[in-house]
Amino acid sequence: MTEQRTVWGIGLATKSEDGTILDTWFAEVRLGIPTDGDAAAAVMTWSEFAESDERRAVEVELISLSIDLDDAPVSTPDAYLRLHALSHRIVAPNDLNLDGIFAHLPIVAWTTAGPMHPDDAARLRPLLQREGIQVHSLDKFPRLLDYVTPPGVRIADASRVRLGAYLSPGTTVMHEGFVNFNAGTLGSSMVEGRVSQGVVVGDGSDIGGGASIMGTLSGGGSHRVSIGSRTLLGANAGIGISLGDDCIVEAGLYVTAGTKIVLSHEPPLHDGSRPIVKGAQLSGQNSLLFRRNSLTGAVEAVRREGVGVTLNEALHA
């Protein structure tokens, strides 16, 4: 391992009665290789929290782990350390190897008292109810805020942001906003729509209510969508291409790689019509307004000047 691409963590792994490691919470996560003194001090600090919980039929064990970010995950603790590294802003989205991560993340019954095996949750339901413990989800990924509290960030609904999300200071995720793992914001941003896996949003940009950004987890796509700085994705709009800086997609418009777009800012052709291109040819370009012509229904791109959007400083301080 090289120190520059090595992440070390120490924390607590939850194991069910059948030996399945359900999760790992890393209390300390650092870039590089720790000294013997640092490792020993961390063990002393966190070992007292390694104990059993009969209510959930789990054992909690102390774990120390170092991984190379360029290697693929090999275990559940390895996968969780990568997700922690993202959410602690130690490594940026798409800058680490996550190949095969789903195979190392078991389906877990996430409860108000912590993770437990789904079979045990069903078997122990009367005991859980008596203890006031509720199952709030059944999934491979937990909520970000159950593991990491990113400084300078507002999250209105904890269930809408997964562990592994990368949220920069000044980011606000509103109630209907969603941020997946290995995705997030590179500066102060407003998120009221969906930020899919692999997507990054630039500083000062606004993802409007109900807006959707296509990811690469399904559909066979390979392009990782990104949004530049000061760009607005309007309410209920969507994109399958990247947007550069100072762009606007009008509300309700969905622009994909195959969308036929009229270049309204280009000179007319010999027959008087405007050039038409596919959305993929405009991917990543700066200072474009995407809109739908209210008379013809055609999708148009117009070259624009100035700042795309200015966020309310009071909301993103």
Q: Residues with catalytic annotation?
A: 192
Cα-trace Rg, the chain: 23
Q: What is the torsional sign of CA 182, 183, 188, 193?
A: negative
Write 119-124 long-range contacts (CB < 8 A, 24+): 120/16, 120/17, 120/56, 120/57, 120/58, 124/55, 124/56, 124/57
Give the single-character DSSP code of 84.
Answer: H
Distance between CA atoms of residues 31 and 95, nearest Å? 14
For 226-241, the three-class secondary structure string (H helix, E strand, C coil) is EECCCCEECCCCEECC
Distance between CA atoms of residues 151 and 88, nearest Å? 9
